[in-house]
Structure formats: structure tokens, C-alpha cells
């Protein structure tokens, strides 16, 4: 038995911890979920306690023998204090349980879930990397982030984790639709869906024609600066100013255009806008 202890000491996987007349041979580190053993010296019966913030164990042991802990006994990474009590003697020590280096789970947070097209650095992704026992893996590992747009345009970046975390930023693309945002590490991946919606109207333009004693006003199909159709329901505001008076009509887009009839006042000035976006201006002279 002492030969085994001497061998373990020699290869640096175990260290003796003494107190009073007992002695403990503890592993320096145990991989989460792996089998391990603790050897004690002395004679008679004792009780072995292993306490950490994630798990607590208590075993009746025979002093002087090796106590075996099968795989899956300790799986929460952390620092574990060990106390041995028995036969009028006591010993204590400590060892660490380290995460499995093979990732099993990604905690992937992507924001926002919906945004306008064409925004530089508009999409962010952050990842925490965990092993199969939900232990954070602090060892640096590469994470690949990949954003695929509706037009199959792909942005990707590979980021190495620090303290188990990694992040990236991506641009929203020019085409509206649904993006797939994937974070992966080896065979483990996690996907988030990002909705890209048209941006503000761009180049808002209306035309006017007489309709009896009214003016019929109609916009061209309203699109954003990337050419995506602005959604129906978006409010377009027509304003007519004449003889020091002003009238305003709000019209929702329908099938991509907004149209309205307003009174035909001579020398009226008519403008069109959507939100803070101004369109063209028409002077009605008839």
C-alpha cells in the first residue's frame, strides 16, 4: 500500500495530508465524473467527509485502506474539503474537481431577436461553454459564430473563450427575412433566429393628379434604402398648406403604397412624410 502511495506521489497525482496520527492520500485534481480514490493510514474504522459548494459525501472507511469512488460520484467542479475522523485521530486535506474539457452545452444569447436591415454591428451574440455536468469550462476554446441571411449571405467569426465566455457582433444584412445565428464548438451548436425587417422608408415620393375638386395623391411603392418593401400599415402623412391654413391626413400603407384625396386649393403646398423621413413636395397651381 505504501508503494502505491509512493508511486502516486512520484507522478504528482496525490499528496499526503497529515494531522495527528492519521494520513490521507488525496488526488490533486479529479476530472468531473471520473473515478478516484482516497487512501488513509492508521487502523480501525473512521468516517470520511468530502464537502464542497456543489456536493457533500460521507463514507464509513477502514483506516489504512483505500476508499474507491466510482465514476459519477463527484461531478460538480469546485474545491472540496476532506475531513477524516476516527479511532481518536483526525486528518484533513482538499482537492479540486475540474470540468471535463469536452464541451457539451452552449449557453447562447443572441440579441436582438428582431431588427432593421443594414445595421452595422446590430446583432450581438454571447456564449458560455459548459461540460456535460453544467460546469463552466474555463480553458480557452474556439467558438465559431455564423450568421446566415435569407439570401444565403454568411458572416462568420471564430472567437476564443476567456474564462468560459466569448462574444461577437455581426451586421444585419440588406435583405429582409429570417437569419440563422449559430454558435458552435466542435460538435456542439446552438441556433437562434433573428428577424430582419425593412428599415425606414427611403426616397419617399408622391405624385398628384386632379380628381374633380380634389387632388388625388399617391406615393410610389415605399421601400427602405436596401430596396425592401416597407410593411403595410406603416403610416404616411400628407400635409397640405394653403392661405395660411394647413390640413394633415395620416394614411397607412396598403399594398406598399399610400393614397388619399385632399381638397384642391390653388397655390397649395403638399408634402409627404413617414415618421421623421421627409418625401418630396408638390405645389398645386390650378
Partner 1 sequence: MTTLKSILILCAVLGSATGAAAAQATVHVEPASFQGPRPLADQTAKAAIRDYIESWQSLNAALDGNRADLLDADFVGDAKDKLMAAIQEQSRLGIRTHYEDRAHDVQIVFYSPEGLSIELTDTVDYDVQLLDHDKSQGMQRVHMRYLVVLTPAELRWKVRVLQAEAE
Nearest approach in angstroms of CB 56 to partner 1 is: 5
Cα distance between residue 282 and residue 276, in whole Å: 18
Nearest approach in angstroms of CB 187 to partner 1 is: 22
Binds partner 1 by CB under 8 A, chosen from 62, 64, 111, 220: 111
Of 119 and 273, which CB lies nearer to partner 1 in the complex structure? 119
109 binds partner 1 (CB under 8 A): yes
Helices (H), 12-137: none
Binds partner 1 by CB under 8 A, chosen from 78, 150, 177, 256: 78
Q: How many Cα atoms within 13 Å fall on the side-chain side of residue 57? A: 19
Query: What order of strands is seen across the sheet that includes strand 142-148?
Result: 114-116, 188-197, 177-185, 142-148, 154-160
Q: Using CB under 8 A, which of the segments 66-74, 92-100, 269-277, 278-286 binds partner 1?
A: 92-100
Helices (H), the chain: 2-10
134 binds partner 1 (CB under 8 A): yes
Q: Using CB under 8 A, which of the segments 70-78, 200-208, 211-219, 256-264 binds partner 1?
A: 70-78
Question: Which DSSP symbol is given to 134?
Answer: S
81 binds partner 1 (CB under 8 A): yes
The three cell numbers locating residue 62: 477502514
Contact predicate 98/136, CB 8 Å: no
114 binds partner 1 (CB under 8 A): no
Nearest approach in angstroms of CB 171 to partner 1 is: 13
The three cell numbers locating residue 230: 416597407
User: Contact letters (x/-) for partner 1, 158-187, by CB under 8 A?
Assistant: ----xxxx-x-x------------------
Nearest approach in angstroms of CB 215 to partner 1 is: 48
Nearest approach in angstroms of CB 52 to partner 1 is: 7
What DSSP letter does each residue of 227-255 carry, written as one string? SPBPPTT-EEEEEEEETTEEEEEEEE-BT
Contact predicate 117/176, CB 8 Å: yes
29 binds partner 1 (CB under 8 A): yes
Binding residues for partner 1 restricted to 34-63, rule: CB under 8 A: 47, 49, 51-58
Amino acid at each position: 500500500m505504501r508503494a502505491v502511495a509512493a508511486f502516486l506521489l512520484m507522478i504528482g497525482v496525490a499528496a499526503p495530508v497529515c494531522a495527528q496520527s492519521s494520513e490521507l492520500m488525496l488526488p490533486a485534481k479529479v476530472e468531473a465524473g471520473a473515478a478516484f480514490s482516497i487512501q488513509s493510514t492508521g487502523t480501525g474504522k473512521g468516517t470520511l467527509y468530502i464537502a464542497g459548494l456543489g456536493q457533500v459525501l460521507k463514507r464509513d472507511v477502514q483506516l489504512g485502506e483505500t476508499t474507491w469512488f466510482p465514476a459519477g460520484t463527484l461531478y460538480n467542479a469546485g474545491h472540496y474539503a476532506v475531513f477524516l475522523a476516527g479511532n481518536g485521530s483526525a486528518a484533513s486535506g482538499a482537492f479540486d474537481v475540474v470540468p471535463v474539457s469536452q464541451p457539451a452545452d452552449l449557453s447562447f444569447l443572441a440579441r436582438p431577436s428582431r431588427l432593421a436591415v443594414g445595421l452595422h454591428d446590430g446583432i450581438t451574440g454571447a456564449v458560455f461553454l459548459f461540460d456535460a455536468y453544467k460546469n463552466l469550462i474555463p480553458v480557452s476554446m474556439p467558438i465559431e459564430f455564423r450568421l446566415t441571411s435569407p439570401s444565403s449571405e454568411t458572416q462568420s467569426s471564430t472567437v476564443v473563450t476567456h474564462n468560459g465566455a466569448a462574444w461577437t457582433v455581426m451586421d444585419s444584412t440588406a435583405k429582409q427575412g429570417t437569419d440563422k445565428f449559430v454558435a458552435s464548438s466542435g460538435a456542439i451548436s446552438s441556433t437562434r433566429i433573428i428577424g430582419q425587417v425593412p428599415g425606414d422608408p427611403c426616397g419617399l415620393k408622391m405624385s398628384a393628379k386632379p380628381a374633380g375638386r380634389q387632388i388625388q395623391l399617391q406615393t410610389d411603392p415605399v421601400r427602405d434604402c436596401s430596396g425592401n418593401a416597407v410593411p403595410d400599415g406603416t403610416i404616411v402623412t400628407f400635409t397640405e398648406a394653403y392661405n395660411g391654413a394647413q390640413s394633415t391626413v395620416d394614411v397607412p400603407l396598403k399594398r406598399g403604397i399610400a393614397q388619399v384625396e385632399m381638397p384642391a386649393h390653388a397655390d397649395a403646398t403638399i408634402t409627404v412624410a413617414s415618421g421623421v423621413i421627409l418625401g418630396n413636395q408638390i405645389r398645386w397651381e390650378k
